[in-house]
């Protein structure tokens, strides 16, 4: 049996998960990463995407996150998300609203930050497409 660790997912509105997990697939700013028990201590920022939790009891979960930070330290991993919600709660209106908001910010961005704003839009579109494929 795979080793397990404690995983917590928290947004400003609520705690979404506090579970024993065997792996958590995190949409890191530099690419997806998988956190497992005894992972090297790491702090990373998140990009918009789907965070997947492989529960130690076999119950897998998936959440849409819009950004934030992950703190991985051996027996625990904590994600502090800007916004997060279970994939089951994500409606077309919600994801399209997030994309519209990000597009508005991209269009208003100055020359120095337009690339970063465009990446947020692209990441949200990719998350939407991933939700539809699931």
Q: What is the pLDDT of residues 77-132, one digit of tens each?
A: 999 999 999 999 999 999 999 999 999 989 988 888 888 889 999 999 999 988 87
Q: Of 123, 132, 98, 94, whose CA–CA distance to 28 is shortest?
A: 123
Residue ranges of domains in the chain: 5-86, 90-133
Q: Of 96, 104, 93, 98, whose CA–CA distance to 81 is shortest?
A: 98
pLDDT at 134 over 70: no
Q: Are 44 and 7 in contact (CB under 8 A)?
A: no
| pTM, entire model | 0.89
Q: Are 85 and 15 in contact (CB under 8 A)?
A: no
Task: Classify 30 as helix, strand or coil.
Answer: coil
**Domain 5-86 belongs in CATH node 2.60.15.10:** yes
Q: How far apart are CA 99 and CA 10, in angstroms?
A: 22
């Amino acid at each position: 049996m795979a080793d397990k660790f404690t995983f917590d997912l928290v947004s400003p509105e609520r705690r979404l998960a506090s579970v024993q997990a065997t792996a958590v697939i995190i949409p890191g700013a530099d690419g997806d990463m998988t956190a497992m028990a005894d992972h090297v201590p790491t702090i990373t920022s998140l990009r918009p995407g789907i965070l997947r939790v492989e529960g130690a009891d076999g119950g897998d979960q998936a959440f849409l996150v819009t950004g934030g930070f992950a703190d991985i330290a051996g027996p625990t991993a904590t994600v502090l998300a800007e916004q997060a919600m279970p994939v089951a709660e994500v409606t077309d209106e919600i994801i399209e609203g997030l994309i519209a908001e990000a597009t508005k910010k991209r269009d208003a961005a100055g020359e120095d930050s337009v690339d970063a704003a465009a990446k947020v839009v692209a990441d949200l579109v990719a998350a939407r497409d991933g939700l539809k494929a699931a």
